[in-house]
Structure 1
Amino acid sequence: MSEAETPEERPLRSPAFRWFFIGRSVSLAGSFMSPVALAFGVLESTGSGAWLSAVLAAAVIPMVATMLIGGGIADRYRRDSVLRLTSLGAGIAQAGVAVVLLTHQRPSLLLPLSALNGIFQGLTTPTLRGILANLVSGRALQQAGSLVASAGNIARILGPSAAGLLTASVGGGWAIAADAATFLASAACFARISLPELPPRAVGDPSMLRAMSEGWTYFRTQTWIWSVTLAFAVFNATTMGFWQVLGPVITSDTVGPKGWGLALSARGAGALLASLILVKLPIMRRPMTPAMTSMALATLPLVLLGAGANLAWLVTATFVAGIVAEFFTVVWVTVTNTHIPERLLSRVSAHDEFWSFLSLPIGQISASALAAVAGTTTVAFAGGGLGAAAMLLAALVPSLHRIEINNKAAAEAAR
């Protein structure tokens, strides 16, 4: 086998990564089916938008609350074991949701089941951020991250359509049952991964709380990490939060729901194209400044939406946004897996996820109120401008400019 064909260069030649990739791809297929299936399933069962809001909130709040704990667990225990248990738990919880919907039980039973799903998702997210460093190393990290991203983008395009077809033909309950089956199948795939046992903890090893505190200390002392997190906290509150609420409102009077759906699909298509290219095309040695600068383009869809642009311009903008967002994602996964010590990776990544997404509901809640006062066009322009400014300012941080990848010395230091 030539050097170019080793597992270090071709991650799919590694059995452990191959099983992870299959399991993750199956799980993603179900995860992108779930929002459509759950929404229509709950509405079909209750006929109430209030119940749908309650069910969604019952999942989001526990997810955010457990994300930091999930980072501590993922760095303290074998990540393959954590993924097996969380996938199994999510599968059982989703199966419960399907039973409630299919047998027309009291909708209140959906609340604890949704909370369980949120907990399992909160535990899973930081584990996923850290496990790639256990499965591949060196330049294979970029390719591995791109492969997983490609699978996610394909699921993002096909999953909602499949859920819509299932829901329309046999009901949302059966679509949720299909999602439950994908979680159970992914748990079976993760069972084929066997990472080395962690060294036994000595008597003086830190407690879970001290370990989580260590992750926080590392996070807050690394300017290159928290500056990106802060930029995305602004971006998620303004650009993404406003887009998700104002998008349907504005397009209902312009391109309509079909145009809105096409725009969302275009973003997924752009992300898929970028991830496929990045599987083969190496990224630059110092990628963070270009990645952050390009993310300013991801605000264009919101700006054009506020300007009342026609469908062709909106689809083009969302396609470009998908490309630059995926480029950043692959760069960030590669950089964090290379430069954050492996033993801290999940804890630090949990802080990155937690603080960057904590602001999202604030943007979602404030969008309608701000639009009522200043108008949707003004709010869309302001949201896009703030999001772009946050990315461009973060790109000026000196420590981000110095970050390198494909650097053997840095990779060894990270270990």
Structure 2
Amino acid sequence: MSPARVLIDVRPLRTSPVFRRLLIGRTVSVLGSFMTMVTVMYQVWEMTHSAVWSGAVGLAQALPMVCFGLFAGAWADRGDRRRIYLASTTGQAVCSLLLAVQGFTGHVPVAGVLALVAAQSACAAVGAPAAGVFVPRLLPKDQVAAGLALHQVTGQAMMLVGPALGGLLLGWFGIGVCYLLDALSFLLSFYGAFGLPALPPEGEPSRAGLHGVLDGLRFLAGHRAVRGALVTDLAATVLSMPVSLFPLVNDERFGGDPRTLGLFLSALAIGGVLASALSGAVTHRGRPGFVMLFGAGVWGAALAAFGLMTDPWVGLGLLVLAGAADALSVLSRTTLVQTRTPDALLGRVTAAETIVGQAGPHLGNMRAGLVAGATSGATALVTGGLLCLLAVVYVATSTPELRVGAPAPEAR
């Protein structure tokens, strides 16, 4: 296979100026968001020195997405997705400006900071379903997977750079400047969004309110391939999410060396970036269901092996493998969902996928902590990885549409 078909497919950057502008704006905005994530965690800890308040930061970010996501999806399937995205981006930028103001003045209590974080997350929840239709509407069908891969590799690169850059800027300039830079990053989001054409739903618009939400849930329940994709994601996150176990496993197996602990998350991210950068072979083949199942299975197996490993360097290698497998699985799942969902339902299905992506890791970290508390970190990793592998095998055997890559029926 030629190198051009192995490296990430960059055709969308050449063929669609609108997609290119959107990607630039999103990349800079994601960088700002990761800087803000670090800044909020730092500020809350400095204000309270409480692990409970620090944990509340994650709750403030996740709850609005879960509570508003499906209704936002129904709204996105009724109106112009471009206008909804612009409204969402405006709301997020205003919240970042308010965070910057309180960062410079220092007169807002910790509950007020978390309220601004929750408001920004609510705005993001509104915009996510609308943004979920951009790639399949802007690109030819044979370039959708490539466009999603470009989104993924830039997002993961910002996940590597953003927290480190945020920490440096915090030390140099303080929290107000970090928040202000995030607010300014939304200018490039507007730059990308204003170039979009009007994007009303194709087909029958969503019904208003709860009726529209229920229509979306009925589609998810009836479409075997899309349902299987979301179940696979839940299996990978709820059953085998390892992040909360890293400090314990580092202490149990690797002597509590902080340098090793710091490399755990980096290893996952490095694997994800490498896999995304070399995703051309996957996006050209057009079998997202098979790749998703294979990637999720390798993720579970690699984490189970990591739980057994006593050599730290081999363990880090297994985490790189797990991160790479997860990146390919996520890319393939998103490709499958966006190419097999009718446009009129895509906002609601994207909202459901976002909720699964938000809630699954939190539930998985909680499950891992409970199992580790009753047994050990290694046991929680091994059992979680094996359970994930079994769940993937079940989805693969019960959903042949995912294995063969053939178009799935709309409902059954």
TM-score range, shorter chain: 0.7 to 0.9
Inter-CA distance 172–313: structure 2 relative to 1 (3 Å threshold): farther
* 2:189 aligns with one of 180, 186, 190: 186
Aligned to 2:276: 275
Inter-CA distance 67–391: structure 2 relative to 1 (3 Å threshold): same
Aligned to 2:85: 83
Q: Is the 8 A contact 1:232 1:390 kept in 2?
A: no
Q: What letter corresponds to residue 364 of structure 1 in structure 2?
A: N
Aligned to 2:248: 249
Post-superposition Cα deviations, 1:353-401, rounded to whole Å, max 9, x if no partner, equal: 3346534433333433332222222222111111122122222221222
* 2:15 aligns with one of 7, 13, 20: 13
Aligned to 2:6: none
Post-superposition Cα deviations, 1:188-235, rounded to whole Å, max 9, x if no partner, equal: 331222235568989xx8323322222111111011111222232232
Q: What letter corresponds to residue 126 of structure 2 in structure 1?
A: L
Q: What letter corresponds to residue 151 of structure 2 in structure 1?
A: V
Inter-CA distance 199–381: structure 2 relative to 1 (3 Å threshold): closer
SS in 2 for 1:156: helix
Q: Is the 8 A contact 2:204 2:344 kept in 1?
A: no
SS in 1 for 2:207: coil
Inter-CA distance 53–68: structure 2 relative to 1 (3 Å threshold): same
Q: Does 1:154 align with 2:157?
A: yes
User: Matches of 2:53 and 2:87 in 1, distance apart?
Assistant: 29
Q: Is the 8 A contact 1:41 1:167 kept in 2?
A: no
Aligned to 2:338: 337
Q: Is the 8 A contact 2:29 2:189 kept in 1?
A: yes
- More deviation, 282-291/311-320: 282-291
Q: Is the 8 A contact 2:93 2:183 kept in 1?
A: yes
Aligned to 2:314: 313
Inter-CA distance 383–123: structure 2 relative to 1 (3 Å threshold): same
Q: Does 1:216 align with 2:217?
A: yes
Q: What letter corresponds to residue 37 of structure 1 in structure 2?
A: T
SS in 2 for 1:326: helix
Q: Does 1:166 align with 2:164?
A: no
Structure 2 gap segments, 5+ residues each: 1-9
* 1:119 aligns with one of 93, 117, 122: 122
* 1:128 aligns with one of 131, 142, 145: 131
Aligned to 2:57: 55
For residue 246 of structure 1, report the CA deviation from its aligned partner.
1.1
Q: How does 1:37-48 map to 2 (within 5 A)?
A: 37-48=39-50
Q: Over the residues paired in the alignment, what is the CA RMSD in angstroms?
A: 2.6
Aligned to 1:295: 296
User: Matches of 1:315 and 1:144 in 2, distance apart?
Assistant: 30
User: Matches of 1:231 and 1:337 in 2, distance apart?
Assistant: 16
TM-score, normalised relative to structure 1? 0.87
Inter-CA distance 347–201: structure 2 relative to 1 (3 Å threshold): closer
Q: What letter corresponds to residue 154 of structure 1 in structure 2?
A: A
Q: What letter corresponds to residue 195 of structure 2 in structure 1?
A: R
User: Matches of 2:263 and 2:211 in 1, distance apart?
Assistant: 48
Structure 1 gap segments, 5+ residues each: 1-7
For residue 114 of structure 1, report the CA deviation from its aligned partner.
1.6
- More deviation, 150-159/33-42: 33-42
Q: Is the 8 A contact 1:301 1:314 kept in 2?
A: no
- Report percent identity of matched pairs: 24
SS in 2 for 1:181: helix
Inter-CA distance 219–199: structure 2 relative to 1 (3 Å threshold): closer
Q: What letter corresponds to residue 238 of structure 1 in structure 2?
A: L
TM-score, normalised relative to structure 2? 0.87
Q: Is the 8 A contact 1:19 1:193 kept in 2?
A: no
Q: Does 1:67 align with 2:69?
A: yes
User: Matches of 2:30 and 2:14 in 1, distance apart?
Assistant: 18
For residue 125 of structure 1, report the CA deviation from its aligned partner.
2.5
Post-superposition Cα deviations, 1:138-167, rounded to whole Å, max 9, x if no partner, equal: 211122111111211211111111011112
Inter-CA distance 109–357: structure 2 relative to 1 (3 Å threshold): closer
Q: Is the 8 A contact 1:129 1:333 kept in 2?
A: no
User: Matches of 1:126 and 1:196 in 2, distance apart?
Assistant: 13
